[in-house]
Amino acid sequence: MAEQLKEFANVALTATNFNSSGEYTVLTNNSTTQAVIKDVNATSTTTNSLDSNIILTNGISTIATGGPSTGFELIPQSGTLKVEFNPALSAGVLRNHTVFHATHTNRYYQHTLTKIESQNYPVIAGSTYVAAFTDVSTRATGPAAFVSDNVAWFFVNKAEDRAFYFHYNGNEGTQVYWCTFSSGTFGSWTSFGLGNYQYAALDPETEKFYVQPSVNAVRVFDLNASNPVTYTEFSSAFTGMSPTPAAPSTNAHSATVNGVFFTLPRANYDDRVQYFDPVTSNRGVITRDTNNYLIDTNGFLAITYNPIEKNYYILTKAYSNYKLYYFNVDGVNGALSGDYTSTFLENQSGGFLTLSNSLFAHGTSDGNFVTSNNARKAEISKPSFTALASGDYGEVLHTATSVSGHIATGPVLSKRSTGATIPLSQLKPIGLNLKVSGVEITGVS
């Protein structure tokens, strides 16, 4: 066998060097060659990506992350060494959506929206792949119950054959209703009968909603089930937690994003948000560094996750008052584990200013909030942990047409089309300097 010191890579990469899977292959051994990797230096050269996003893999596991790294890693015969980004390089997928926006006056609005999804890195200014509301909304007659109910959210499923709405008054009698739906025609409504104080946290992306029915339990309702009134119960979701969990009571609020359930159980527990992940069974408490979370009858809890920053954002509301917080989770796809402390950013007055009467806001898994603004319009905004030129920690991305004269509930963004993948050529410049060296061993039998 022969050994020789070798520089396996010393290159400057851009987004176009990566394949459709977001990978750049540094080396591929043949059947008689091994490589011992000893030194790696992978650093980002642009502001559009972070060193912490860069990873080297052997095709199975991570070898090193961005920045200089020394050590020992054997790449076997026929093995590969690749560099990737986490999250993967993606300019996103352009999808057509429908935003549903109900009112208390027996009306619902249906806005058409073309929106970029799964966009892990920013797209160049002036890209032909734009995301904007159309200038037309459809107003239709909703369920008669809208007239008297405190409707928090209204939702039509992706198949557009069922409709749902959630009644919430901050205290007793919370209910979710569902019926068959066809081209704007509603069937007979059936109540889920949630019971008192159970705020239904809708996840329109997975077509589920979550509630906390008691101190320790979480229930998950599948809106695509043959009978959506049925649910899966996690009876020990919060059992044994510290601080001791609270049972939901007056003004309880909940939210969900990334398939995780978050809850503010009651007003005198406004110093913490509890969470539970039904997939991993991980749970924990999110306290705040200062300024208690807001909670009141006319309010909500909304949470969104930004996969580029790896930040969760928490928006809490009580009547016309709003507070914004964030916390960082450096796990794969924002996976939560253990307790966290959120950082207070501001009392909101700009980017996410929502209607005083609004009882729901939708947080997406790509870093946006969907709210109802003071002009009773559905609005999509993106929070940021650094202040913008305006002084606000976020900006409005899209605003729908008005629902003038009606008090609007929280709007719900629902996925529709499969969408078209946006090419990596539309990304703002992504630069990466990569240097990999070590020993190559040939003639391995």
3-state class (DSSP) for residue 250: coil
Which residues are CB-contacts of 168 (< 8 A; sequence separation ≥ 6)?
Answer: 150, 152, 174, 199, 200, 359, 360
Residue 235's alpha-carbon distances to 73, 123, 228, 281, 337, in angstroms, are 45, 44, 19, 11, 19
Average pLDDT over residues 124-138: 63
Domain ranges for the chain: 2-89+430-442, 93-424
Per-residue model confidence as pLDDT tens digits over 301-327: 999 999 888 899 999 998 888 999 999
Grade residue 264 by pLDDT with cuts at 50, 70 and 90: very high
**Least confident interval from 86-95, 98-107, 187-196:** 98-107
Q: Please indicate whether residue 179 or residue 101 has the higher confidence score (pLDDT).
A: 179
Say whether pLDDT at 229 is over 60.
Answer: yes
Grade residue 139 by pLDDT with cuts at 50, 70 and 90: low
Per-residue model confidence as pLDDT tens digits over 71-91: 889 999 999 999 988 888 888
Its CATH class, for the domain covering 93-424, is: mainly beta
Cα 174 from Cα 123, distance rounded (Å): 42
Average pLDDT over residues 22-27: 90
Cα 5 from Cα 306, distance rounded (Å): 42
Q: 2-89+430-442 maps to which CATH number?
A: 2.60.120
Per-residue model confidence as pLDDT tens digits over 30-49: 999 999 999 999 888 888 77
Cα 311 from Cα 289, distance rounded (Å): 16
Q: Give the dihedral sign, CA 394/398/402/408.
A: negative
Grade residue 186 by pLDDT with cuts at 50, 70 and 90: confident
Q: Which amino acid is at 272?
A: R
Structure token pair of residue 132:
């904007």
DSSP state of 223: T
Contact between 358 and 300 under an 8 Å Cβ cutoff? The reply is yes
What percentage of the chain reaches a pLDDT higher than 90? 33
Grade residue 130 by pLDDT with cuts at 50, 70 and 90: low
What integer best gives the mean pLDDT of the chain? 85
Cis peptide before 243 (omega within 30 of 0): yes
Say whether pLDDT at 233 is over 60.
Answer: yes
Q: Please indicate whether residue 210 or residue 3 has the higher confidence score (pLDDT).
A: 210
Per-residue model confidence as pLDDT tens digits over 333-344: 788 999 999 999
What is the pLDDT, as a whole number, of residue 193?
Answer: 76
Residue 434's alpha-carbon distances to 39, 55, 122, 282, 374, in angstroms, are 11, 11, 22, 36, 49
**Least confident interval from 179-188, 327-336, 409-418:** 409-418
What is the pLDDT, as a whole number, of residue 329?
Answer: 92
Say whether pLDDT at 147 is over 60.
Answer: no
Average pLDDT over residues 274-293: 93
**Residue at token pair 């009134």:** 229
**Least confident interval from 187-191, 195-199, 389-393:** 389-393
* pTM higher than 0.75: yes
What is the pLDDT, as a whole number, of residue 135?
Answer: 44
